[in-house]
Amino acid sequence: MAWLFVTPVVLGMLIFSVYPTVYSFYISLTRWDLVTEPRFVGADNFVSLFTSDRTFPKALSNTAYFALGASLPGLALALLFAILLNQKIRGRYIYRAIYFIPVIASTVAVALLWTWIYQPQFGIINFVLKSVGMRNPPRWLASIDWAMPAIIIMTIWQGLGYDIVIFLAGLQNISTAYYEAASIDGANGLQQFRHITLPLLSPVIFFAVVMSGIWGFQAFAASYLMTGGGPANATMTMILFLFNQAFRFHHMGLASAVAYCIFVIVIVLTILNFRLQKYWVFYEEGS
């Protein structure tokens, strides 16, 4: 009877998760254009990604740059705002809601909004920069040097509210008795943050770091909507490269190989994070 009840879930997992995963690995070992029969080529797709294809290494470095640039500053800002919003200030619940609004907003709408903000001629950012005396403000999305930082800034802004909520939950689980004891012993605010808040919040920070790394290597929507991977592949990410190979050029085998490269990178980084957590993540006894 128990197996009868779980059968729909098991079938759903097999049909929509396990089978596509196994079949996509087979496709990564073939050349397939969705029209003709797949032709087995072994590891040629994986070899060509790192030898003959010049775009993939660029996409890999761009994705790593995006993941680091969006994760570390974003988590630091989220922690700062979470600490501020955890104080007993008037209207803190309204502020929390305001910071969370971009998280639930459509990525398409957010990308279009920031595309207008970054517009070199009449965008609001360059208007402000010109008004304070900057003669040649950045061209943002049209600049090879500034396109990826512009997308990172937008991504941090959109995802800030989610990390704030995560950190707020962790901060509110820290007993005030620790801070009261530290104050009695003469510890100032910075010392309390270093020796109480950070160690006790480290499990939450660890979770946020792992999730940010995974999401960072899945970057797609912002680059696709705002720049299309340009200019000169400056914002080409691995997922966008995969999308182009699969749905623009119909190189399904190569696209599947890219997907498994991303899978391996994410798995390796996640395992590395779990191995390193023993050096900086502290759990309370009994938790």
Predicted confidence (pLDDT) per residue in 76-130, tens digit: 999 999 999 998 888 888 988 999 999 999 999 999 999 999 999 889 999 999 9
Mean pLDDT of 135-161: 94
- In the chain, the N- to C-terminal Cα span, in Å, equals 35
Average of per-residue pLDDT across 259-275: 94
The answer to whether residue 198 scores a pLDDT higher than 50 is: yes
Domain layout of the chain by residue ranges = 53-279
Phi and psi dihedrals of 273, rounded to 5?
Answer: -60, -40
pLDDT (0 to 100) of residue 285: 58
pLDDT at 287: 47
**Buried b / exposed e along 236-263 (16+ C-beta atoms within 10 A):** bbbbbbbbbbbeeeebbbbbbbbbbbbe
Q: Which fold has domain 53-279?
A: MetI-like fold (1.10.3720)
Q: How confident is the model at residue 286 (pLDDT cuts 50, 70, 90)?
A: very low
Q: Is the pLDDT of residue 282 over 90?
A: no
Kindly report the pTM of this predicted structure.
0.91
- In the prediction, which pLDDT does 52 show? 83
Q: How many angstroms separate the Cα of 185 from the Cα of each of 94, 176, 188, 264?
A: 35, 14, 9, 49
Overall residue count recorded for the chain in this entry: 287
